């Protein structure tokens, strides 16, 4: 059927009863939308440094200083120092440290494998060891 483009007024041929724009205008609008989308996406990702944000932990407002900042300064300090302290203490009293060598180029794959299962490489190793031992009791 013949329709008149609602944007540029040119007549155009279409099969769709709902088409409102000629193909030229449709393409132009699609490009415009893409540009808008990219712009929005860019500004979202930058999360506008220097703007007030809500702390995900305590709900207090803080000024965004880095793009990855989620918590107010108090909370991010508390959580990171507490984590390091706890981890070090826990690790040194509960674990021995040992280095495991893997075939060249496999480290990333192993990390990915563990991540897919929601484990750290360390947990994966310990679980694997446990399973191996229970499967090879008579070795």
- The contact set with Zn ion (CB under 5 A) reads 5, 7-8, 22, 25, 55, 57-58, 60, 71-72, 75
Closest separation in Å from C-beta 65 to Zn ion:
14
Cβ atoms of residues 26 and 10 within 8 Å: no
Residue (75 or 110) nearer to Zn ion, CB: 75
Unique residue bearing structure tokens 């900042």: 69
CA–CA–CA angle 63, 68, 74 (5° rounding): 50
Closest separation in Å from C-beta 47 to Zn ion:
16
Residue (3 or 110) nearer to Zn ion, CB: 3
Closest separation in Å from C-beta 6 to Zn ion:
8
Residue (5 or 114) nearer to Zn ion, CB: 5
> Residue 41 corresponds to which tokens in the numbers above?
């996406």
Q: Cα separation of 131 and 73, whole Å?
A: 43
The backbone torsions φ and ψ at residue 104, rounded to the nearest 5 degrees and listed phi first, read -50, 130
């Amino acid at each position: 059927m013949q329709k008149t483009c609602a944007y540029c007024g040119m007549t155009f041929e279409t099969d769709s009863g709902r088409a409102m724009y000629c193909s030229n205008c449709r393409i132009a609008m699609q490009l415009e939308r893409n540009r808008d989308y990219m712009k929005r996406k860019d500004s979202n990702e930058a999360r506008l440094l220097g703007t007030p944000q809500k702390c995900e932990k305590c709900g207090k407002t803080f000024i965004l200083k880095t793009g990855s900042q989620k918590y107010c300064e108090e909370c991010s300090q508390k959580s990171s120092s507490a984590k390091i302290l706890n981890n070090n203490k826990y690790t040194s009293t509960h674990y021995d440290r040992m280095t495991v060598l893997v075939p060249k180029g496999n480290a990333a794959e192993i990390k990915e494998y563990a991540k897919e299962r929601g484990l750290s490489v360390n947990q994966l190793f310990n679980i694997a060891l446990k399973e191996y031992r229970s499967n090879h009791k008579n070795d």
